[in-house]
Amino acid sequence: MLNQPSPKERYIELLKKTLLFEMWQEHEEDLFSNLMGHGKNVDPLKHQNGEIWPKTAHSMIGRMRMNNLQMCMKTILEEQIEGDFIETGVWRGGACIFMQGFLQAEGIHNRKIWVADSFEGLPPPNEIKYPKDKGDQLHTFSYLAVSLEEVQNNFQKYDLLDTNVHFLKGWFKDTLPTAPIKKLSLLRLDGDLYESTMDSLNNLYHKVSKNGFIIIDDYILPTCQAAVTDFREEHHIQAPLIPIDNHSVYWRKP
């Protein structure tokens, strides 16, 4: 007889399915596909790979990136890597909600979840300081702007809003340099732009513990990829970039 999942494992799996709206996929809509004139129907493969803009789901990162996040957190606990978890660029909060749910399921209460976002969408490109962001239009999409109150409410829907969850509201260049974060074991970047990616790496990478995880959600974007390349070259980082899916990569801090 095959081993049955434990109640903890069942909870974690159910949390992923709910955050991604997988159980009700037939009722989901792909707003990006609709914007491009291709209809609202959700392609299951694109949903799995985090390639849709969901109307309802609390996360758009897809199953493969969500599984990767779980693997990283599980490894952190198994190897006792010190530090909190953070995501910079959270949208509706789904990945951070999963971080909190995972820790709660594991009975871990001494790690904080840092939820960093403008909660106003993306900033207009600073083309003078960051020319690689020139022409980017993501700041014009109100869909990507989710308020702090909505994200907090999403945490509450899962009974996962408590004192271990800390919100950093504002542009990364303003909030991250003074954020009271001592040590990180997981740094998840989802800021799209060169500026946002570089602000996150410049202000937080040095706080990541040895063997901690750096996850780059938007590596497919030329703006984000350029920032990662420049940062790694500047700091002589040789750790291999490991693909997660068609969009994302991660590496472990040497």
Per-residue pLDDT of the chain (254 residues; tens, 9 = 90+): 568 899 999 999 999 999 999 999 888 998 877 677 777 888 888 999 999 999 999 999 999 999 999 999 999 999 999 999 999 999 999 999 999 999 999 999 999 999 999 999 999 999 999 999 999 899 999 999 999 999 999 999 999 999 999 999 999 999 999 999 999 999 999 999 999 999 999 999 999 999 999 999 999 999 999 999 999 999 999 999 999 999 999 999 99
Q: Which domain holds residue 220?
A: 59-252
Other Cβ atoms closer than 10 A to 158: 18
Is residue 141, in this structure, part of any structural domain at all? yes
Is residue 243, in this structure, part of any structural domain at all? yes
Is residue 126, in this structure, part of any structural domain at all? yes
Is residue 244, in this structure, part of any structural domain at all? yes
Residues forming beta bridges with residue 184, ordered by sequence position: 84, 208
Domain count, the chain: 1
Is residue 154, in this structure, part of any structural domain at all? yes
- What is the C-alpha to C-alpha distance for residues 45 and 63, in angstroms, rounded to an integer? 10
Q: What is the CATH number of the domain that holds 248?
A: 3.40.50.150
Is residue 19, in this structure, part of any structural domain at all? no
Is residue 97, in this structure, part of any structural domain at all? yes
The per-residue DSSP string of 50-80 comes to T-S-BSS-S--SHHHHHHHHHHHHHHHHHHT
